Structure 1
Amino acid sequence: MTQPPPRQEFTEEEIRQIEAEMDKLRVDDVLLQTLVTLINLGARKAGLATPPGEEPPARDLPETKQAIDGARALFALLEPNHGEQLAPIKDALSRLQMAYVQLSGGAPEVSESAPEPDKPEGPGPAQSSGRLWVPGQ
């Protein structure tokens, strides 16, 4: 059995440097980094992102869904302050959600806590005008 590596003790100077870095760090920065990390991790867990030369890992769709749910929650926190700057991240999250739905073989899950939105009767104005492309129609 392999022994864990010995625990590293920090010097007082190293601790002061770490504390100085923590003083500069903003919660917003950590949230943004975590959002990007969750999307990247979700893509890996879905088997969509594999480093060159490596075999794709086994898909883990429950982990993928958890990464999506976490990213959506963080996105909601960050969007009021960052708006349009988050457009590429929003696009990546949307693609990951679509891939998840395709890989899971069904419709997206609807949270039991959130009521299902009312569906309008018939096509909407954009679809009626013929300017909206709808798959299969």
Structure 2
Amino acid sequence: MTQPPPQREFSDEEIAAIEAEMERLTVDDVLLQTLVTLINLGARKAGLATQPGEEPANRDLEQTRQAIEGARALLPVLEARHGQELAPIKDALARLQMAFVQLSGGTPPPAAPVEEKPEGAGPAQSSGRLWVPGQ
């Protein structure tokens, strides 16, 4: 049994640099990076990162499905702020979803449940973009 590498001690300068980076970092940055990472990881888990003619070593369609679901869950959070800038990312996600369907024999990942809107809801509420407590 191999032992894990010993814990590394950080110097005061390294800790200060990490803290300075955390001050500059925004939640928006992390969400965008996570979205891109999920799509890239999903493509790798689907075996799409192999060379042409090369058989994927460790295809894992369950991991691919999870990556797709995670990316789809993050998109609405980022759309309000980034709109059209997300077009290339949405395209990459759509291609990943198509590859998943082909690789899994035509079974798409389950769509997010569509919530029924109460009658008489205004345009903001019925668009799904307005959070209403208790709904």
Q: Does the alignment reach a TM-score above 0.5?
A: yes
Residue pair 2:65, 2:109 contacting (<8 A) in 1 also: no
Residue equivalent to 1:118:
none
TM-fit CA distance, 1:114: 3.9
2:78 alignment partner in structure 1: 78
Residues 66-86 of structure 1 deviation map (CA, whole Å, 9 limit, x = unaligned): 000000111111111001101
After superposing on structure 2, the runs of 4+ consecutive aligned residues of structure 1 that deviate more than 3 Å are 109-115
Query: If the length of structure 1 is used for normalisation, what is the TM-score?
Result: 0.74
1:112 positional shift: 8.3
Deviation at 1:110, TM superposition (A): 3.6
Residue 7 (structure 1) shift: 0.9
Q: Which residue of 2 aligns with 1:89?
A: 89
The amino acid across from 2:14 in the alignment is: E
Q: Which residue of 1 aligns with 2:40?
A: 40
State the distance in 2 between where 1:90 and 1:57 align. 27
Q: Secondary structure at the match of 2:67?
A: helix
Please name the residue that 1:58 is paired with. Answer: 58
Match in the other structure for 2:108: 108
DSSP-derived class of the 1:7 partner = coil
Q: CA deviation at 1:5?
A: 1.7
Structure with max Cα Rg: 1
How much does 1:15 deviate? 1.1
Q: Secondary structure of 2:8's partner? A: coil
CA distance in 2, matches of 1:112, 1:78: 16
Aligned residue pairs total 114
Between the aligned residues of both structures, percent identity stands at 71
In structure 1, distance between residues paired with 2:7 and 2:51:
31
Alpha-carbon distance in structure 2 between the residues aligned to 1:6 and 1:62 = 33
User: Which residue in the other structure is 1:5 paired with?
Assistant: 5
